[in-house]
Structure 1
Amino acid sequence: MAHSRARRNPADGRAPVRRAASGVAVLLLLLGVLGFVPGVTSSFADLRFAGPASGARLLGLFQVSVVQNVVHLAFGVAGLLLSRTVPGARAFLLGGGAVYLVLWLFGLAVDRRTEANVLAVNGADTWLHLLLGAAMLTLALLASRRNHHR
């Protein structure tokens, strides 16, 4: 019978908080890129730079604009860079989680039909931002409990 450790786990040696941060970063990069892909983003011809007039929908559900896609891409790149160290990964998950919770509150407070809705968020975006923010904060706290300094 083979020992369960016979094959090396590629994640061995990386602190859980670093793996969590890089995973979230890849997810955010994916969201940002897919927002620019016709077919994955429905009504792609209606994609606008910013504001509520953007009619493009990622997966037919999440309203997107160029600004919103770029925000996700920027957070993804920052996450990949910061996930290189334990303190950076923790800072990315905590700070990014807080920012996404602020975006959730923005989505709840803004009149989505006005130019104040600069990111072009709809109800689905608002709840996705809550999920992302809560998940990032939770990962920061849980993954940091097993503190590895690598």
Structure 2
Amino acid sequence: MEKAAQAVGAVFLLVGILGFIPGITSNYDTLGLAGHGSEALLLGVFQVSVLHNIVHLLFGVAGLMMGRTHAGAKNYLLFGGVVYLVLWIYGLLIGHDSAANFVPLNSADNWLHLVLGLGMIALALLLNRRPTRATTPRV
């Protein structure tokens, strides 16, 4: 569980860093602080802004820190997954050209958030199972 949370955290940290690297982020010259006006695209697909990248960095650090304990790792994966599912729903409901799209999000981000949310929750639930101790049958 702890290693999974730290791995997820490391990926988020890496994504946050990559969002600030021209070439990996296309249209880098349009990277905005926040809002749907940022036309920067991580890997040419996912709309990002400075705020979006900072959120990834913070979420990554949280995963590395919370992944130090079983309880912290479980909470990070479970509640982080819930946050991503809420973000997926939010992204589906708002207009991508509206002021409500302050992160910013595009369709690719929305579907990635669904996969991330479900994946993190699945990790939290599947890895939480502890092996039961074998008992010797009584004769």
Q: So what's the TM-score if we normalise by structure 1?
A: 0.85
Matched, 1:91 2:89: no
The CA distance in 1 between the partners of 2:85 and 2:51, in whole Å, is 18
Written as runs of structure 1 = structure 2, the 5 A alignment for 1:7-46 is 17-46=1-30
Written as runs of structure 1 = structure 2, the 5 A alignment for 1:40-119 is 40-119=24-103
- 1:132 corresponding residue in structure 2: 116
Residue 90 (structure 1) shift: 0.3
The CA distance in 1 between the partners of 2:96 and 2:122, in whole Å, is 29
1:38 aligned counterpart, secondary structure: coil
The CA distance in 2 between the partners of 1:37 and 1:109, in whole Å, is 30
The CA distance in 2 between the partners of 1:103 and 1:37, in whole Å, is 25
Residue 96 (structure 1) shift: 0.5
Residue 142 (structure 1) shift: 0.7
In angstroms, what is the RMSD of aligned CA positions? Answer: 0.8
Matched, 1:122 2:106: yes
1:146 aligned counterpart, secondary structure: coil
The CA distance in 1 between the partners of 2:52 and 2:118, in whole Å, is 19
The CA distance in 1 between the partners of 2:94 and 2:47, in whole Å, is 15
Residue 146 (structure 1) shift: 2.9
The CA distance in 1 between the partners of 2:130 and 2:32, in whole Å, is 43
What is the aligned residue count? Answer: 131
Structure 1: gaps (5+ residues) = 1-16
Cα offsets for 1:106-126 (capped at 9, x unmatched) = 110011101110001000000
Q: So what's the TM-score if we normalise by structure 2?
A: 0.92
Structure 2: gaps (5+ residues) = 132-139
Identity of counterpart residues, as a percentage? 53
Runs of 4+ in 1 over 6 A off after TM superposition: none
